[in-house]
Amino acid sequence: MASVGTSFRRKEGPEKLTGEATYIDDYRLEGALHGVTLRSKVARGILREIRFDPAFDWSSVVVATAADIPGENAVLLIEKDQPLLASRELNHLEEPILILGHSNRAKAYEALEHIEVVCDEEEPVLTMEEALADGAVFKRFEIVKGDLDAGFRDADVIVEEEYRVPHQEQAYIETNGVAAWEEEDGTLVVTGSMQCPYYVHKAMLGLFPRAPEKIRVIQTTTGGGFGGKEEYPNLIAGHAAVLSLKAKRPVKIVYDRAEDMRATTKRHPARIRHRTGVKKDGTLVAQDIDVLMDGGAYVTLSPVVLSRGILHATGPYECPNVRVVGRVVKTNTPPNGAFRGFGAPQTLFAAEMHVEKIAARLGLDALVVRRKNLFREGSVTATGQVLKESVGAKEVLDRTVAASRYLPRKKECERWNRRKSAPSWRGVGLAAVFHGAGFTGSGEVYLQSRATVSLLPNGDIEVEAASTEIGQGTTSILASIVADALEVPYDWIRVSTPDTARVPNSGPTVASRTCMIVGGLLKRSADELRRALEREGVDWPPKPSSLKRAARKLCANGRPFGFVQEYERPREIRWDDATYRGDAYGVYGYAAMVVELEIDKVTYEVTVKDVVTAQDVGRAINPLLVEGQIVGGTAQALGYALLENVIFDKGVMANANFTNYVIPTTLDTPPMRVEIVERPYSLGPFGAKGVGELPMDVPAPAVAAAIHQATGLFLTELPLLPERISKAMHDRAHRQS
Amino acid sequence: MIELTVNRKKRRYRGPLFKRLLDVLREDFELTGTKEGCGEGECGACTVLLDGEPVNSCLVPVAQAEGTRVETVESLGASSRLSPLQQSFLEEGGAQCGICTPGMLMTAWAYVRGGGPADPASVRTALAGNLCRCTGYQHIVAAVVEAAKREKRKRARAR
Amino acid sequence: MRGDPGSMTLLRPRSVEEALGLYAANPGAVPLAGGTDFMVAWNAGEANGRTILDLSRLGAWKRIAVTATGVRVGSLVTHRELQLHPLVRRRLPLLAEACGTIGGHQIQARGTLGGNIANASPAGDTFPPLAVYEARVRLRSAGESRTLPFLEVFTGVKKTALADGELIDSIEIDFPRRPARESFRKVGTRAASAIAKTVAAGLLWLSSDRRIREVRFALGSMAPTVRRLGSVEALLAGKRPTPRLVEEAADLLEIDVSPIDDLRSTRAYRLEVSRNLLRAFLSPGLTR
């Protein structure tokens, strides 16, 4: 029975339900030291001296500093500007300076209190605007289409606005944790909570030079990532490893919640400016967009976040004349990094709110403006990409509008709001988004991803890929794709642990690429395996006994008989990095959402009453898992919109705990109605595109639009806290009186 | 030395009495199913049942658990034989990354076992002290509602 | 987790007398009830090396006793037990409701009324109800006992009037005569498991001619300690609650409180919402 398209059970489900699944902190390491990190207490300065209190007993403590790094003191991602351990320059609060270890965790933390760091403090740059004034730009991109000036001349109305979005903390419930040790044969083993074992592998090679097979990275069961464990593990892994090599003992580092929130990456804050020319009927004729992002103190992945941000900055709309300028700047704050959506939630919030603003200016419903400009097959994007297939934009919009009864509900809310005695204001808000699946432009080619399907000596079939299960269902989805390609039961397929000693580099588990790209590779590998087995005389579909027989013959010396596929850029996808023109992504997912909410007149608290959404994922390999991604991503985005406020004080997060950084509970999250739309992608396995990030892009502007309808307030900054709603109302009343 | 009952077995603990119940369970009793998520009593990943009540074990010094009945996720079932509640979670998609799941299950189990009503609103209220970042709660609530319905039928049959 | 269990000294009295004696001999000890406040600081490594006076074995303080005029709640009664107690639910509903808003189920199952009071957070959710119910707090030390009116227990942010060696024995609350109106509302940072930005409780009695005979209104998270709105109560006593009087009262509210900007909210918002809560309480049918 085919599994694709059914809600097959999660492969690792049972262990997660019984406590048998082992996360990094569940592992007992014989003779291990607990590693803790000494961090900078200044946002910017020059390190002069590290003083160890002579009155403290250091005999059981091992310390590793920059001097102990055998290779280059750089955490490789794109650039090499971020040191593993600071040796001279201090560029942000919480910057790691040294790692120390003790067999007792409390004593390790106590030892930290007995180290004094002497430095010359310097004036830090803490805002994007300051950084821009200083010219501290990590990267600048520009997208140009058509003739912007001509477009503005052609416009009936020009609408301008500035939008701001803050940091957001991933708040995975399992904090960052990694363990490292060196085996007797000189293999450096690194294991822990991570999304990208091969990123870690590459970073470790630079820090601890040795033959590639002498570094082994193994992902443990990971309690949530959302991008927060995409690049950050490179740093914590390096820390565990450098101390382990110094101590000649295993080292485990597990952050507590406060350290994790203060020191690790967050979503890039952004300021997005729109200047848009439209015709009276809502047709877009000119979009001039400026995107400014705060990268924090080091480059890390900021250029890629900025890239995705600007590639989504127009919204899912066709406009003949476009200019998008994007810059990401350096501030003396902890580096920002990947978080589900990766630049798109930021710019799509602005794009969608701007549609709302345009509509209000023109006296049209925002739905009308959307319908006028929405992408369809044949549309040309800002980079000149022709959307040839799998464009579910209109379908998701239509189905969302119908299922939510958007227009009648809007009228009902208007009637409600006219009643002076009503205890609340009510509003309905709509948003529509798109999200490119896979890496941008040449990214997938650059990755050279490889994945394998093997027949094992015992007759089992195994998937070997570096793609990690972090809750989204990787293991199950990949198994399902391979099972159906081979026409065997889902239960017959095993998925290897992402262990660099066992699996090829199928690239990072990010960018909504796992199902589409890696699944695609595995489907081809499976096809090759099948052909080879059929050539060996195996009748298809096979019985377990015939696979066992074939394995006895083909798995010589007990080694798996497998086929690896390497990514080849489809001929149809053309991209020019230099001009930023062409096919930015192979295909896009589309989503629309209607949010209905209520604002209490006494407290200004916002309660989301209903969420209706339709999302085009190409093909739902497992509808239950797809729904899980949509509901989960929506909850995170509702947090982004309404609750999650990263408060920075002098360059570091001041509310670094769950008490004061509030994420949604069961009572903050409404029930949601999800419709899965399938517009198959010809190059995706069984038609699948991506789903991991798309849900993150659409809720925040839908919420802001609903607040707009409820109160008449057009709020341009997240989160939409009751304090801000209250203040905006008062400011408006003041202006009017 | 103190004694407490853990998953129906009498256990002895001989270490420092201010060690947290969470750490005693995970380290001394090697029951690593219960997790630490925050150390503040906010996320509920460390939830165990103490004399039948869900509590945050990261906030309980083991001395205060002396003589009590503690139940952890390991008491519910094994992957070869899931309990009905765990089976509901599996079928409804109630676990994604799984880190919140043990704590969530214990709170849910206390609710279902205590005859909690099988309506989503009551379930949501009962689970408000357990944070999940992956699921958006919908599938968890569906699983617990299903389990509560089953429990109600079971009680009706027993009468 | 930065707590060091090996560094702690744990005193585990089995009776109230023993506890008071140990506390007198160890004045620097930290009395520990349910631990939902203290253990957070301990987990952060802020209390290593301290001596702990574990009160959890003092059964005498875990009971809710019915008195001639109301209840006496032992200091170690949990918020969960309080909110489920039939008499508390019926006669002291604001207190029962407040207990149900503290954290989630897990926190309510461990946090105690006495522990919460001794912790003296400005944001204590049960404090406005206890303030309007005019609870009395019984304190005991090795030599003596005394009773303080609830409001006199708090002297500042996380500071109480408890003398050296004093522990909270119980909280006595008389059932009020049936009010015409009673209300509790907590405005938190989210829908559940949240710290209060402001938290209000009110009781109101009318005379036969529809004038306000007496009103009691208290706010938490609006000052270093919970506050009864004395000026507002004085203004309203004996008068008919007209819209204009309600507005006067709302304006006067500011005198009795001193809200601040902090990580959770702003002074302006807290004032505005508190005024709205007062307005809503005084004129239930009336909104903005």
Q: What is the mean pLDDT of residues A121-147?
A: 98
Q: Whole-number mean pLDDT of chain C?
A: 96
CA dihedral A533, A534, A539, A544 (to 10 degrees): 10
- Give the nearest chain B residue to C39 (CA atoms): B59
Query: Chain B contact for C35, CB < 8 A?
Result: yes
- Which of the four pLDDT bands, split at 50, 70 and 90, describes residue A534? very high
Domain count, chain C: 2
C68 and C160 share one domain: yes
C263 and C190 share one domain: yes
Question: Is C97 within a domain?
Answer: yes
Q: Exposure pattern of A297-309 as b/e (b: 16+ CB <10 Å)? A: bbbbbbbbbbbbb
Cβ–Cβ of A258/C193 closer than 8 Å?
no
Cβ–Cβ of A726/C272 closer than 8 Å?
yes
Nearest-Cα distance to chain C for B139, in Å, is 19
In C, which residues are within 8 Å of B44 by CB distance? 104, 106
Cβ–Cβ of B96/A658 closer than 8 Å?
no
In C, which residues are within 8 Å of B64 by CB distance? 32, 35, 54, 56
The CA-atom distances, in angstroms, between A535 and each of A203, A531, A670, C215 are 42, 6, 54, 91
Here the tokens at position A730 are: 């008062």
DSSP state of B54: E
Q: Which chains touch B (3 or more CB pairs under 8 A)?
A: A, C
Q: Does residue A649 register a pLDDT over 60? A: yes
- Give the nearest chain A residue to C1 (CA atoms): A256
Cβ–Cβ of C192/A667 closer than 8 Å?
yes
Q: What is the mean pLDDT of residues A497-512?
A: 95
pLDDT score at C185:
97
Decide if B45 contacts B72 (C-beta within 8 A): no
pLDDT score at A569:
85
Here the tokens at position C73 are: 């709640």
SS3 of A701, please? helix
Query: Chain A contact for C116, CB < 8 A?
Result: no
C81 and C168 share one domain: yes
**B138-158 and A623-638 are packed helices; what angle lies between their axes, rounded to 10 degrees?**
110
Q: What is the DSSP string of B28-45?
A: IS--TTS--S-SSSSS-T
Question: Is C269 within a domain?
Answer: yes
Nearest-Cα distance to chain A for B147, in Å, is 15
Q: Does residue A445 register a pLDDT over 90? A: no
The number of C-beta contacts closer than 8 angstroms across B and C is 96
Residue of A60, A599, A603, A711 to mutate for C, most C C-beta atoms under 10 A: A603
> Among the listed ranges A31-35, A555-559, C192-196, C231-235, which one has the minimum average pLDDT value?
A555-559
Alpha helices (runs of H) in A363-493, residue ranges in sequence order:
366-373, 393-404, 406-418, 443-447, 474-486
Residues 248-277 of A with CB under 8 A from B: 256-257
Q: Whole-number mean pLDDT of chain A?
A: 97
Looking at chain B, the whole-number percentage of residues with pLDDT higher than 70 is: 100
C153 and C192 share one domain: no
Q: Does residue C44 register a pLDDT over 80? A: yes
Q: What is the DSSP string of C73-113?
A: EETT-BHHHHHH-HHHHHH-HHHHHHHTTSS-HHHHHH-BH
In A, which residues are within 8 Å of C195 by CB distance? 659-660
Q: Does residue B74 register a pLDDT over 80? A: yes
- Give the nearest chain B residue to A106 (CA atoms): B19
Q: Does residue C284 register a pLDDT over 90? A: no
Cβ–Cβ of C195/A723 closer than 8 Å?
no
C80 and C169 share one domain: yes
Query: Chain A contact for B82, CB < 8 A?
Result: yes
Question: Is C38 within a domain?
Answer: no
Helices (H) and strands (E) in chain C, counts: 12, 14
pLDDT score at B159:
79
pTM of the entire structure?
0.98
Residue of C2, C50, C184, C283 to mutate for A, most A C-beta atoms under 10 A: C2
C165 and C69 share one domain: yes
Domains of chain A, first to last: 31-123+171-263 (3.90.1170.50), 270-440+581-736 (3.30.365.10), 443-566 (3.30.365.10)
Cβ–Cβ of A223/B40 closer than 8 Å?
no
A32/A178 Cα distance (integer angstroms): 12
pLDDT score at C286:
47
Question: Is C34 within a domain?
Answer: no
Q: Which tens digits make up the pLDDT trace of A82-109?
A: 999 999 999 999 999 999 999 999 999 9
Q: What is the mean pLDDT of residues A520-549?
A: 95
Helix or strand run (H / E) with residue A322: strand A322-330
Query: Chain A contact for C280, CB < 8 A?
Result: yes
C198 and C162 share one domain: no
Decide if A651 contacts A92 (C-beta within 8 A): yes
Question: Is C1 within a domain?
Answer: no
A631/B52 Cα distance (integer angstroms): 31
Please give the distance of CA B102 from its chain centroid, rounded to a whole number: 6
Q: Does residue A421 register a pLDDT over 60? A: yes
C224 and C136 share one domain: no
Q: What is the mean pLDDT of residues A190-196?
A: 98
How close are the terminal C-alpha atoms of chain C, in Å? 48
Q: Does residue C287 register a pLDDT over 70? A: no
Q: Does residue C285 register a pLDDT over 80? A: no
Q: Does residue C186 register a pLDDT over 70? A: yes
- Give the nearest chain A residue to B105 (CA atoms): A17
Q: Which tens digits make up the pLDDT trace of C79-128?
A: 999 999 999 999 999 999 999 999 899 999 999 999 999 999 999 999 99
A529/A523 Cα distance (integer angstroms): 10
C8/C47 Cα distance (integer angstroms): 9
A58/A61 Cα distance (integer angstroms): 5
Helix or strand run (H / E) with residue C198: strand C196-206
In A, which residues are within 8 Å of C278 by CB distance? none
C87/C69 Cα distance (integer angstroms): 12
Q: Does residue A343 register a pLDDT over 80? A: yes
Here the tokens at position A616 are: 């085009």
Domains of chain B, first to last: 2-75 (3.10.20.30), 84-158 (1.10.150.120)
C119 and C190 share one domain: no
C166 and C186 share one domain: no
In B, which residues are within 8 Å of C51 by CB distance? none
SS3 of A149, please? helix
C111 and C196 share one domain: no
Cβ–Cβ of A16/B101 closer than 8 Å?
yes
Decide if C222 contacts C274 (C-beta within 8 A): yes
The number of C-beta contacts closer than 8 angstroms across A and C is 89
Domain's final residue, options C174, C200, C231 = C174
The overall longest dimension of chain A from CA atoms, in Å, is: 88
In A, which residues are within 8 Å of B127 by CB distance? 666
In B, which residues are within 8 Å of C1 by CB distance? 20, 23, 36, 39, 58
Question: Is C79 within a domain?
Answer: yes
Cβ–Cβ of A20/B31 closer than 8 Å?
no
ipTM: 0.98
Q: Which tens digits make up the pLDDT trace of A671-713?
A: 999 999 999 999 999 999 999 999 999 999 999 999 999 999 9
* B79, B98, B125: residue with CB nearest A667: B125
Q: Does residue A284 register a pLDDT over 80? A: yes
- Which of the four pLDDT bands, split at 50, 70 and 90, describes residue A570? confident
Q: What is the mean pLDDT of residues A421-435?
A: 97
pLDDT score at A557:
86
Q: What is the mean pLDDT of residues A503-529?
A: 95
C141 and C189 share one domain: no
Question: Is C33 within a domain?
Answer: no
Residues 30-69 of B with CB under 8 A from A: 31-40, 42-43, 45
Domain that holds residue C118: 59-174
**Which residues contact residue C215 at a Cβ distance below 8 angstroms, ignoring those fewer than 6 apart?**
C202, C203, C204, C205, C232, C233, C236, C237, C282
Cβ–Cβ of B60/C39 closer than 8 Å?
yes
Domain's final residue, options C174, C192, C222 = C174
SS (H, E, C) A165-202: ECCCCCCCCCCCEEEEEECCCCCEEEEECCCCHHHHHH
Cβ–Cβ of C263/A106 closer than 8 Å?
no
Burial degree of A290 (CB within 10 A; 0-12, 13-18, 19+): middle
Q: Which tens digits make up the pLDDT trace of A208-247?
A: 999 999 999 999 999 999 999 999 999 999 999 999 999 9
Question: Is C220 within a domain?
Answer: yes
Query: Chain B contact for C97, CB < 8 A?
Result: no
- Which of the four pLDDT bands, split at 50, 70 and 90, describes residue C288? very low
Nearest-Cα distance to chain B for A175, in Å, is 7
Q: Which tens digits make up the pLDDT trace of A450-499?
A: 999 999 999 999 999 999 999 999 999 999 999 999 999 999 999 999 99
Count of C-beta atoms within a 10 Å radius of residue A152: 16
- CATH code at C277? 3.30.390.50
* C52, C80, C104: residue with CB nearest B18: C52
Cβ–Cβ of B125/C80 closer than 8 Å?
no
Cβ–Cβ of C2/A668 closer than 8 Å?
no
pLDDT higher at A446 or A348: A348
CA dihedral A117, A123, A124, A129 (to 10 degrees): 180
